[in-house]
């Protein structure tokens, strides 16, 4: 934060006002003191994760040049991890408000079942089924938000409870069996995970959605209010920010993003599987929390989350091509989650220390000016 000019402090020193006796007073520059435009430390902290992504990609391209950098492998990673990216964004929004949504892993399972079941059991057109699923996602988010903001239940307990209920509902809807259509699902619905000009549709959807979320978070009041709600709710209340509305809204957005992920999962699997869903919870949180160490270190952010999910995708795919077993995915995601929480805490403490140091510097500057008041003639 730039320091105010000396004139604004009311202690501008002129030759006429300088003391006539005692040690000479050195006039301070009236130019604001600001941080250098480029800082290698800040750049490295913000883009370290991106550099890790590039290093991993180059490493696996060197180790598996005939299989890893192929179009098929990249498209497979993009399609599969787009679902994780949507869920990571879904948990990122409540985290920005200092809340947690543990229901996303269970909800994505129910939503992908409903996206298929509405077409198979009720004969609904695919776009109507998709709209109903997204609307149900908003309803789920509203319930979670009201439990947290109005009923004052811990978000950890509330969303874990609703997630468990959702898991039971998915078992009830399927009877523990897979939902398979006797006739092929509509081509337009299956095309939601198709490839156009070499790029999977889910990747395009995630990038467009991420851009919109980035604009809202960084340039619109809704983003600033959401972050201030998460950083200091009491101060936000005192300044007139309706924190309850933003908490509820964050869960509604989370539910809708989870529903979109469920639709893409249904298009990819082409069937409804009752046991699918909980395995996405850990990678989603790992992506959101690891993303808090990149781009805007110290807080969850959109592009940091996308970068973290890309690191998970490249790391898991590369290890599998090197001969790792099927269980490498949860192990890698779990270790990444532990590392991300530790790094996020370290970055947060470092940011707080820097802010305190800057505040102390400003106070010291003001005190230094006050020690030498202008002499009167």
Residue 47's pLDDT is what? Answer: 82
Number of domains in the chain: 1
Token output for 183: 């006739």
Residue 43's pLDDT is what? Answer: 65
List Cβ neighbours of 289 (8 Å cut-off, separation of 6 or more): 95, 300, 337, 340, 341, 344
Residue 13, domain member (yes or no): no
Predicted confidence band of residue 42 (pLDDT cuts 50, 70, 90):
low
**Where is pLDDT greater, at 194 or 341?**
194
Tokens 């750049």, located at residue: 43
Residue 365, domain member (yes or no): no
Residue 88, domain member (yes or no): yes
Residue 236's pLDDT is what? Answer: 92
Token output for 203: 């990747």
Residue 19, domain member (yes or no): no
pLDDT tens-digit readout, 230-279: 999 999 999 999 999 999 999 999 999 999 999 999 999 999 998 899 99
DSSP secondary structure letter of residue 121: T
CATH number at residue 210: 1.10.3470
Residue 369, domain member (yes or no): no
Predicted confidence band of residue 59 (pLDDT cuts 50, 70, 90):
very high
Residue 323's pLDDT is what? Answer: 85
Average pLDDT over residues 38-55: 76
Residue 359, domain member (yes or no): no
* Least confidently predicted of 207-211, 278-282, 340-344: 340-344
**Where is pLDDT greater, at 326 or 54?**
54
Q: How far apart are CA 303 and CA 213, in angstroms?
A: 10
Predicted confidence band of residue 22 (pLDDT cuts 50, 70, 90):
very low
Closest CA to 118 of 104, 129, 102, 133: 129
* Least confidently predicted of 166-170, 289-293, 328-332: 328-332
Which domain does 250 fall in, by range? 45-351
pLDDT tens-digit readout, 79-105: 989 999 999 999 999 999 999 999 999
Q: How far apart are CA 169 and CA 41, in angstroms?
A: 50
Give percent of the chain with pLDDT exceeding 70.
81
Residue 332, domain member (yes or no): yes
Residue 30, domain member (yes or no): no
List Cβ neighbours of 242 (8 Å cut-off, separation of 6 or more): none
pLDDT tens-digit readout, 355-376: 677 777 767 777 655 444 454 4
Q: Helices (H), strands (E): how many in the chain?
A: 13, 2
């Amino acid at each position: 934060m730039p320091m105010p000019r000396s004139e604004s402090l009311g202690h501008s020193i002129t030759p006429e006002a300088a003391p006539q006796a005692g040690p000479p007073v050195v006039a301070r520059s009236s130019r604001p003191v600001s941080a250098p435009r480029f800082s290698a430390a800040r750049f490295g902290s913000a883009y370290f994760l991106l550099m890790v992504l590039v290093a991993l990609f180059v490493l696996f391209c060197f180790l598996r040049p005939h299989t890893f950098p192929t179009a098929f492998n990249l498209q497979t990673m993009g399609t599969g991890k787009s679902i994780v990216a949507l869920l990571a964004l879904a948990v990122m929004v409540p985290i920005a408000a200092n809340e947690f949504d543990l229901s996303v892993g269970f909800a994505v399972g129910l939503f992908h079942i409903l996206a298929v079941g509405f077409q198979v059991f009720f004969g609904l057109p695919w776009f109507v089924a998709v709209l109903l699923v997204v609307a149900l996602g908003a309803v789920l988010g509203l319930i979670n938000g009201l439990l947290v903001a109005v009923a004052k239940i811990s978000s950890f307990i509330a969303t874990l409870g609703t997630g468990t209920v959702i898991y039971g509902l998915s078992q009830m809807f399927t009877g523990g069996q897979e939902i398979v259509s006797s006739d092929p699902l509509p081509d337009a619905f299956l095309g939601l995970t198709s490839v156009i000009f070499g790029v999977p549709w889910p990747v395009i959807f995630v990038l467009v959605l991420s851009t919109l979320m980035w604009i809202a978070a960084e340039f619109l009041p809704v983003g600033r209010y959401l972050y201030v709600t998460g950083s200091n709710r009491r101060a936000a209340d005192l300044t007139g920010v309706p924190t309850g509305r933003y908490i509820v809204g964050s869960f509604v957005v989370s539910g809708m993003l989870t529903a979109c992920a469920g639709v893409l999962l249904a298009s990819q699997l082409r069937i409804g599987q009752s046991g699918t869903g909980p395995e996405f919870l850990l990678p989603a949180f790992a992506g959101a929390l690891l993303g808090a160490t990149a781009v805007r270190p110290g807080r969850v952010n959109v592009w940091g989350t996308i970068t973290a999910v890309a690191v998970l995708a490249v790391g898991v795919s590369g290890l599998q091509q090197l001969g790792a077993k099927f269980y490498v995915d949860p192990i890698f995601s779990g270790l990444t989650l532990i590392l991300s929480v530790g790094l996020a805490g370290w970055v947060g403490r470092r940011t707080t220390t820097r802010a305190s140091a800057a505040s102390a510097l400003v106070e010291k500057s003001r005190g230094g000016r006050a020690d030498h008041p202008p002499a009167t003639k």
